[in-house]
Amino acid sequence: MMSLNMLSRSVTRTALLSSKRLGPVSFFSNNDSHSDFAPQRKTISDDDEALKMIHEHVQTNHIMLYMKGNPSMPMCGFSATVVKILKDQGVDFSSVNVLDYPSIREGVKKYSEWPTIPQLYVGGEFIGGCDIITEMHKTGELADLLKPEKSDDKKE
């Protein structure tokens, strides 16, 4: 267990975002846990590279959100709504700020064949954007989908 767990959540997120080694994926946790095991990312050079990267993101991060802005400062009302829902669900999730990565912003639309951001993936599968996530949250379907993640042991 790393002593980096002692870092505050905001510092952890800032460190992740500014780290070239870790690339575009940042990790949000309600529990101050530290994602020192986050996958390393290369600089994105072209469209194919972006698609491969997205595939890796969604396969290795159980809950993966492509959004505008980041969880502490969303830049779009739709993205903010999904972030709030995930926080209300009490789950940890990974995110990419597509505003910083134009090739991921376009690549994720091709990857999911979905035209807009935000995009939420769970277990490697595209679940939907703001409207769908909101509806699923209301009906309880989202809680059921995320249930296995909530009961997992906390990452350390």
Partner 1 sequence: MLRILTAATRRDTSTLFLKRFMSSTSNNNNVGAADFPVQASITSKLMEALEPSALRVINESHMHNVPKNSETHFKVVVVSSKFDDVKALIKRHRIVNSILSEEIATEGPVHALSIVAKTPAQWKEMELTGNGKVVIDKSPNCRGGDGSLPSK
Q: How does 41-76 read in b/e, with b if 16+ C-beta sit within 10 Å?
A: beebeeeeebbebbeebbeebbbbbbbbbbbeebeb
72 binds partner 1, rule: CB under 8 A: no
78 binds partner 1 (CB under 8 A): yes
Residues 88 and 136: beta-carbon distance below 8 Å = no
130 binds partner 1 (CB under 8 A): yes
Q: CA angle at residue 16 from 15 to 22, to 5 degrees? A: 130
**Alpha helices in 61-96, H assignment, sequence order:** 77-89
CB of 116 to partner 1, least distance (A): 6
Binding status of residue 17 toward partner 1 by CB under 8 A = no
Shortest spacing between CB 135 and partner 1, in angstroms: 6
Of positions 22, 44, 54, 80, contacts partner 1 by CB under 8 A: 80
For the bound state, the minimum distance from the C-beta of residue 112 to partner 1, rounded and expressed in Å, comes to: 10
Where do contacts with partner 1 occur on this chain (CB under 8 A)? Answer: 68-69, 74-81, 99, 106, 109, 113-116, 126-132, 134-136
